Each structure stands twice: as C-alpha cells, then as structure tokens.
Amino acid sequence: MSHAVTLISGDGTGPEITEATRRVLEATGVAFTWDVQQAGAETLEKCGTILPDEVIASIKRTGVGLKGPITTPVGKGARSANVSLRKKLDLYANLRPAKTYQGLRSRYEHIDMIIVRENTEDLYAGVEFQRGTPEQEEMLETIARTTGTHLDHDSAISIKYISVMASRRIVKFAFDYARTNGRRKVTAVHKANIMKFSDGLFLATAHEVAKEYSDIQFEDRIVDNMCMQLVQKPECYDVLVLPNLYGDIISDLSAGLIGGLGVAPGANIGSKYAVFEPVHGSAPKYAGQNKVNPMAMMFSGVLMLRHLGEREAASRLERALSAVIAEGKNVTYDLKSRPDDPTAVGTSQVADAVIEKMQKL
C-alpha cells in the first residue's frame, strides 16, 4: 500500500532538507505517493500568495503533509503561511518532542520531553490593531469605556484570546498522548497569576480535564519558573501542555537543551489532518549551500511514519539517525564541537549516511 502525502518544500533551506528527508523516507521501504505542492517566498512572487488554496486542498485530499520551513517577513508584509496553514486545517495541537541522543552536544542527559503547544489561538490569532488607524482608536475608546484603563494613543494592540473549547481539547490531547505513549505526568504551563482571565481560564480548564485522567499525574507551573526549572532539571519533566506563545518559546528553549534546532522535530495535528515539519525556520542565509542539518525534518518524518501506522519503519529510521549522531562522523556543522570544523558534511551526505545505516540495521 502506498501512502499519499502532500510534500511542501518551503523556501530558504527548505528544499534541500525536504529532498534529503524524502530520500531517507523512501529508503525505509514504505511506499509514498507524493503530491508535491509549492508555498513560500517564490510562490508569493509567482502566484501573489504565499500559501495557494491548492496546498490546503491537497492536504484535505491526502490527510497528511510533510513540510519544509517557510520564511515569514518580520513586522511587515504577508502573514505567516505556517500560522494560516494551521488555522485553515484546524491543526490545533503542535507536538514537539525534545529528546537527548548520545553524541549530541548538550549539557544534559536523559531529557525526554513532549511539548504540546496549542496552535490556533492566543496572541497568534492575528487579531491586531495598528497604531494610528481608526480601528485602533475605536479599540482604545472601547477599552477606556469598559475597563477604565486609558492606553497610550501611541500604541499598537494584539489580542490574547483563549477559549474553553481550545484549552479543553489541547489538554485532552496532552493527556491522551501521555496515556497512549506510556508517559506518567502532564505539566500545564501558564501565567495565570497575572493574566487571570485568559491564562486563568486555560489553567482552570486543565485542572478540570485532569480529573478525567486519574492514572496520569498532573501539576502546573508558572511559565517564568518553568524556564528556570527546565534549565536546572529538565529530566523532571515529561509532557508539557501550553498556550500558543509560551509553547513556541519553550519548545525552542527545549530544542536548545537537547543540542539545537538541527535535531528538533514537530507535528501539527488536528482531528482530520496532520502536517509534519521541523521546529526550525528557513535559515535563509544558508540557502542553496548544502550545509544545514536535515535531521530535524527526518525526525519529523519519524513522527509521520508513526502517524501513518508504519511503526517498524519509524523505529528503524530513528535508530539509524541516532547511530549517525552517536558516530559523529557524517554530521553537519551544528553537531560538531566547532561550527567551522572542516570534517562537517553537507545536507545530502547526511541522507546518504542515514540510508547506509538503515540498510545495515
């Protein structure tokens, strides 16, 4: 049986790591029918949109996407294609494992955490009011009238929006994941001491949901304390569940704990569709240089294989990746002790080494 998968290369270094990942996935022996779709900076120039409707239609057909990173202009221009994709397909759960493998340059050992980030709302809902617009003026007046707080006219506003429905389903997702994958503890992360209504709602909902899972331990942490605890004793944490913004930041922090963005995979999962992609961005300064690490996307491929029910192929690919990391020979610059190490190999050579290892396993 061949699995139909939508393949989106993205831009910047996306096409190189996507090609390397496609090769290792095919080398597992699992059959794929790739529906290749374009999105990103070049697509914006050619088609006037960063995320054509055809990409969404394709994932609705196949149910599964494998995606390279897409550049988002900072502070201006098009809204993020990544955020739109997650919203349009209601990919409400962003799953980001952070695990140490032998041979990675990390200050820590024995980290094995799963970050579950809410993916659809919070400050990422895209509800913003630009300084100096009539809409912003109206919003300032409404805020003054309803709360008595007079905000500065020289300001911009982003709305932090958190609902019971989205909080409930993300916390349930975290507990279900913990239960299915033999994990012991879920930690909800928040700032409910300050944002009593939005984060307070998230926390109260998490406590409610936790009552339905008496077999899994539950605790909560304030996000700033969580950052310190992760740096001091990350091995104490198992599954973390967070609203969108904290989830984004904590998952990059966790990627740093385990040896960098080059090995941090991700999955965006909804009730109907799933899109797998590395945590890192398009690293445009290295585009076209056969330089960056494809392993984060390959590990995302491992998550995709599991999602497709190809568990044996998933664990073979994971074992091959961990063997290449442990050997430390055929790895990119970011996994070497010095970034200018002349023995670092390129993106496609990593794929060759992983394929060779898989053939021996």
Is position 293 an interface residue for ligand NAD (rule: CB under 6 A)?
Answer: yes
For ligand NAD, give the closer residue by CB, 221 or 346: 346
Binding mask 74-93 for ligand NAD (x = CB under 6 A): --------x-----------
Nearer to ligand NAD, 113 or 261 (CB): 261
Give 267's strand partners: 95, 276
Residue 315's closest CA among 349, 358, 276, 258?
A: 358
Q: Taking a C-beta distance cutoff of 8 angstroms, is the pair 117, 169 a contact?
A: no
Residues 6+ apart with CB under 8 A from 97: 112, 113, 114, 115, 265, 299, 303
H/E run at residue 305: helix 295-307
Is-catalytic flag, 124? yes
Q: Which stretch binds ligand NAD (CB under 6 A): 194-202, 292-300, 302-310, 350-358?
A: 292-300
- Name which of 40 and 183 has its Cβ closer to ligand NAD: 40
Catalytic (active site) residue 220? no
Q: Is 292 in the site for ligand NAD (CB under 6 A)?
A: yes
| Closest distance to ligand NAD from the beta carbon of 293 (Å) | 3
Strand order in the sheet with 274-278: 31-37, 2-8, 64-67, 274-278, 265-269, 93-99, 112-118, 239-242, 185-190, 217-222
**Strand, coil or helix: 6:** strand
In the complex with ligand NAD, the residue whose CB is nearer, 58 or 71, is 71
- Does 65 bind ligand NAD (CB under 6 A)? Our answer is no
124, 246, 273, 333: the catalytic one is 124
Structure tokens at 322: 């961990």
Site for ligand NAD in 296-315 (CB under 6 A): 296
Reduce the DSSP state of residue 143 to 3 states and report it. helix
Q: Verify whether residue 224 is a known catalytic residue.
A: yes
Shortest Cβ contact with ligand NAD: which residue?
281
Q: Is 11 in the site for ligand NAD (CB under 6 A)?
A: no
Distance between CA 45 and CA 306 in Å, rounded? 36
* Burial class for 248, CB neighbours closer than 10 Å (0-12, 13-18, 19+): buried
CA angle 107, 109, 113 (to 5 degrees): 105
217 vs 290 by CB, closer to ligand NAD: 290
* Residue numbers 248-287 binding ligand NAD by CB under 6 A: 261-262, 277, 280-283, 285
Q: Which residues are catalytic?
A: 124, 191, 224, 248
Where does this chain bind ligand NAD (CB under 6 A)?
69-72, 82, 261-262, 277, 280-283, 285, 292-293, 296, 332, 334
